[in-house]
Structure 1
Amino acid sequence: MRAWYAEHLGVGSVPYGMWDTQAGAMVFSPFAADTDYFAADRPWMLNLCVDGLDDLLGALHTAGIEVTTNPDWDAPGVGRFARIHDPEGNPIELWESDA
């Protein structure tokens, strides 16, 4: 799993799966149990702040990784979003900030 994250998202490639982020803050923010923001069968979602979202989405698509976008997720002044899943089905939200 660590190799998948390192290859496709550039994270977790150093020992113990740690990484440095320069794109922005990392946030841990639980949602209410009845949220519809992500699938009910997954109690959490990893959100990664990225630079160059379009290029990343192209590379993920080329690697055969399904990418989901929805214009309703994007917010002026906040940024653009896309979602993928890792090989174990864990949801990952990719966020490119407008800031």
Structure 2
Amino acid sequence: MPVHGIGGLFFRARDPDALSTWYRDHLGIGAGCTPDGGDSDPWSWRTEGGPVVFAPFKADTDYFAADKQWMLNLRVSGLDALVDSLATKGVATERRAEWDSPETGRFARLHDPDGNAIELWEPPADA
């Protein structure tokens, strides 16, 4: 198969520079970022390999806001520490016990300054 993975995610923003800074400062992602905190080229975000879910949802799903076409799901490690770090920066997150399971992992949700939904996903240790 000639496709090897997702090459980018492109979306509209009221203030692209400010939103890029928010993602970099709060989640450590975006152009120039790497998983270990090092530097990447100025256009790309270097990620760790691992599973990526690609799943269209029904138009009337209530899994994320009805006025949004997409939700960003970020694979993370150390979910509790990340949620605590976000809280110290004033970023509200939501956790629900029913979202977590041993088979799929643990989840938290938040929104960026433009109101886009972000789901943080910590896969099970054996995934």
In the superposition, the TM-score normalised over structure 2's length comes to: 0.72
Superposed CA deviations along residues 36-83 of structure 1, whole A, max 9, x for unmatched, are 111111121000000100000000000000101111111212100000
1:90 aligns with 2:116: yes
Higher strand content, 1 or 2: 1
- Tell me by how many angstroms 1:23 deviates: 5.9
The answer on whether the counterparts of 1:48 and 1:93 sit within 8 Å (CA) in structure 2 is yes
Gap runs ≥5 in structure 2: 1-18, 33-41
Give the superposed CA RMSD: 1.3
Identify the residue that residue 10 of structure 1 maps to in structure 2. Answer: 28
Higher Cα Rg: structure 1 or 2?
A: 2
Pairing partner for 2:45 from 19, 22, 27: 19
Q: Percent identity?
A: 56
In 1, distance between residues paired with 2:103 and 2:114? Answer: 32
Gaps of 5+ in 1: none
Aligned length: 98
| Richer in helix (by share) | 1
TM-score for both structures, normalised by structure 1: 0.90
Check whether the contact 1:23–1:51 (CA below 8 A) recurs between aligned residues. Answer: no
Shift of 1:29: 1.9
The equivalences for 1:1-99 within 5 A come to 1-14=19-32, 15-16=42-43, 18-22=44-48, 24-98=50-124, 99=127
